[in-house]
Chains A and B, each alone.
Chain A
Amino acid sequence: MKHLSKAVLVVAALTLAACTDPSRLGGGYGGAGANGAAGGLNDPSNPISPAYFQQTIGDRVLFAVDQSTLSDGARATLAGQAGWLAENPEYDALIEGHADEQGTREYNLALGARRANAVQEYLISRGVAPNRLSVVSFGKERPIEVCSNESCYERNRRAVTVISAGGLGS
């Protein structure tokens, strides 16, 4: 059921391809990976699929506490993302910035915006057209890990690049 709904979401995204509405995007919040029919856009072995981007290129980078600077590892991941986006110009990307729960709500929204922006700027510096990128902050609203210690927090302090079919006027 879960897999089916993911697949439906992506198909819907391909069909509608709204310009800025992230609700169209499969795999939002950087949750579990998408899987689907072999050879399709949800097939992680298909290098032009969002699933491949998510799982093989790496759709997310992590941040230190209260920081938005990109580590060397993060830059390497983002270079890979930029390369994939260059090869797959039919896709746009929404960058979601997230924070862990150690912080107040408003501040974490602002911090998530900083993180998403750091990723956006880096992707642009690697040649991705700015009009293919948009950003949103979820602050501490959408943790993927739910324990209350650093092993979870470090995975929640993230920016996730969510791929969607675009190019229809964004």
Chain B
Amino acid sequence: MTLLKRLTSVLVMALAINAVAFTLQAQERTGPLRIEITEGVIEPLPFAVPDFVAENRAANDMARQIAEVVASDLSGTGLFRRIGSDAFISNITSFDSPVQYADWRAINAQALITGSVNVTAGGRVTVKFRLFDVFAGSEMGGGLQLGGTTTSWRRLAHKVADTVYSRITGEGPYFDSRVVFVSETGPKSDRRKRLAIMDYDGANPQFLTDSSSLVLAPRFSPTGDRILYTSYESGFPRIFVMNVGNVSRRALDDQQGAMSFAPRFGPDGNTVVYSLSTGGNTDIYKLNLQSGERTRLTSAPSIETAPSFSPDGRQIVFESDRSGTQQLYTMPANGGEPRRISFGTGRYGTPVWSPRGDMIAFTKQNQGRFHIGVMRTDGSEERLLTASFLDEGPSWSPNGRVIMFMRETSGAGGAPALYSVDVSGRNLRRVNTNTAASDPSWSPLLP
């Protein structure tokens, strides 16, 4: 625990000072197993996850599947490299047997993850696991036991991987999370859109709405229990709030003749910021869900939209074209004089404050290309992470390390898909979805 604490504080400090590049302590390391954040070249850390040991017959399949998901989570970060089981010298046949470190050193496994699975007749699943620092010849952190059900086994696997990831990187966990997004089908001129939700890795997709109404840009509440989104079910864009558990929904605000969109929760889960268009002018408003009280935060003839709270709830970042083009501004959460923070060439939109509070992700449009980028909250240290015909709408992972966004291809057959990228700009990956997909919103870590 002290080791973990020490690593965490060191790494968080390093991040706070300057994001971000990973380098790995390679084989000749002298300290404990860790991934250290420095300016350097990435060399993924080799690890081994043998199939977990099935403690009873009912656990046979799950013991293998859980190890697969753990390996997939870790490899998917780009920070870890899985060593295939065909290279293994040792096998893990008992969770409590001593580890033959020499056998794992011989195949250069820096980290070894072992586990066991028990499944009761009633569908209860118990997973135990251990993490070993192979070259130090010791266990890293204590073993852990997790309980769940056969229907939630993937979450147990994600929790195992989250623990391993956090212990080695010192970063917060993020695998045990979900993503709400817009599933898209049909031709570009008549796209059908449905809200859908899935695990962060694309597993367990479910629809939340049918395709009868156009829906846009869902956003998770800070506890993951509700979703804000924009729907045309009345014929006009209006904001709805949906309860994720029972899929019930209600319109947020009912102002005749107005169009509302671009909602986001504040960190208290009771405040919503959004845009309202009346008479052709779009401004930002704040709504208290409990009291229904609405406060106007901007009053300008320009477009003010895409507001996003800072995690401490004290500021709001938004986009405005008051200068003539779309740019990013911050203002106090109760309104007040906005301060422009984007000054590069091109147009900036869809700002999202990171859950760490230290950075703002955005969409940038410049010379016919779109980028996902990040900057400090004062606009300094802008870095572009991606580039394509159309990259748009970043959403932060719960630990503020990864950004998911949509990438749309051009032309008549063009369609959007979800991608993720490390905040360092590395590890660009497509996220598996059954249909074309847009507007991802990453949940907080599940409870």
Contact residues of A with B, CB < 8 Å?
Answer: 20-23, 31, 66, 68, 101-107, 109-111, 113-114, 116-118, 120-121, 134-138, 141-148
CB–CB B350/A22 < 8 A: no
CB distance from A162 to the nearest CB of B (A): 11
CB–CB B306/A106 < 8 A: yes
CB–CB B235/A23 < 8 A: yes
CB–CB B235/A20 < 8 A: yes
Given A21-B234, A106-B349: A113 touches B393 (CB 8 Å cut-off): no
Which residues of B lie under 8 Å from residue A114 when comparing CB positions? Answer: 280-282, 303
CB–CB B280/A134 < 8 A: no
Known: A109-B259, A111-B303. 19 other contacts (CB 8 A): A22-B235, A23-B235, A68-B280, A104-B319, A104-B350, A104-B393, A106-B306, A107-B305, A109-B282, A114-B282, A116-B280, A137-B237, A138-B214, A142-B189, A142-B190, A145-B189, A146-B187, A146-B411, A148-B411
Task: Tell me whether B412 is interfacial, beta carbon within 8 Å.
Answer: yes
Task: Tell me whether B241 is interfacial, beta carbon within 8 Å.
Answer: no
How far, in whole Å, are A138 and B261 apart by their CA atoms in the complex? 11
CB distance from B201 to the nearest CB of A (A): 25
Count residues of chain B with CB under 8 A from any CB of chain A.
Answer: 45
How far, in whole Å, are A144 and B412 apart by their CA atoms in the complex? 11
Q: Out of A109, A110, A117, A134, which one reaches B279, CB within 8 Å?
A: A117
- Complex: chain A residue closest to B362, CB-CB: A104
Q: Give per-residue flags for B232-263: 1 if the beta carbon is below 8 A from chain A beta carbons, else 0.
A: 00111100000000000000000011010110
- Complex: chain A residue closest to B214, CB-CB: A141
CB distance from B360 to the nearest CB of A (A): 15
CB–CB B365/A102 < 8 A: yes
The 10 A-B residue pairs with the shortest CB-CB distance, nearest first, are: A117-B280, A148-B410, A110-B282, A104-B349, A113-B277, A22-B235, A110-B303, A146-B412, A146-B188, A106-B262
How far, in whole Å, are A60 and B363 apart by their CA atoms in the complex? 31
How far, in whole Å, are A168 and B444 apart by their CA atoms in the complex? 48
Which residues of B lie under 8 Å from residue A103 when comparing CB positions? Answer: 349, 365
- Complex: chain A residue closest to B236, CB-CB: A136
CB distance from A84 to the nearest CB of B (A): 23
Which residues of B lie under 8 Å from residue A21 when comparing CB positions? Answer: 234-235
CB–CB B259/A107 < 8 A: no
How far, in whole Å, are A65 and B365 apart by their CA atoms in the complex? 14
CB–CB A104/B363 < 8 A: yes
Contact residues of B with A, CB < 8 Å?
Answer: 187-191, 214, 216-217, 234-237, 256-257, 259, 261-262, 275, 277, 279-282, 303, 305-306, 319, 321, 325-326, 349-350, 363, 365, 368, 389-390, 392-393, 408, 410-412, 414, 439
How far, in whole Å, are A138 and B213 apart by their CA atoms in the complex? 12
Q: List 14 A-B contacts (CB under 8 A).
A: A20-B256, A66-B325, A102-B368, A105-B217, A106-B305, A107-B321, A109-B305, A110-B305, A117-B280, A135-B280, A144-B189, A146-B187, A146-B411, A148-B414
Which residues of A lie under 8 Å from residue B326 when comparing CB positions? Answer: 104, 107
- Complex: chain B residue closest to A116, CB-CB: B280
Given A106-B306, A107-B349: A143 touches B262 (CB 8 Å cut-off): no
CB–CB B188/A104 < 8 A: no
- Complex: chain A residue closest to B230, CB-CB: A109
Which residues of A lie under 8 Å from residue B305 when comparing CB positions? Answer: 106-107, 109-110
Q: Out of A104, A136, A143, which one reaches B237, CB within 8 Å?
A: A136
How far, in whole Å, are A111 and B363 apart by their CA atoms in the complex? 17
- Complex: chain A residue closest to B410, CB-CB: A148
CB–CB A136/B282 < 8 A: no
Which residues of A lie under 8 Å from residue B235 when comparing CB positions? Answer: 20-23, 136
Which residues of A lie under 8 Å from residue B191 when comparing CB positions? Answer: 141
Given A101-B390, A113-B282, A117-B280: A106 touches B188 (CB 8 Å cut-off): no
CB–CB A143/B275 < 8 A: no
CB distance from A71 to the nearest CB of B (A): 17
How far, in whole Å, are A114 and B282 apart by their CA atoms in the complex? 8
CB–CB A107/B319 < 8 A: yes
Which residues of A lie under 8 Å from residue B256 when comparing CB positions? Answer: 20
CB–CB A104/B392 < 8 A: yes
CB distance from B314 to the nearest CB of A (A): 23
How far, in whole Å, are A31 and B190 apart by their CA atoms in the complex? 10
How far, in whole Å, are A138 and B257 apart by their CA atoms in the complex? 15
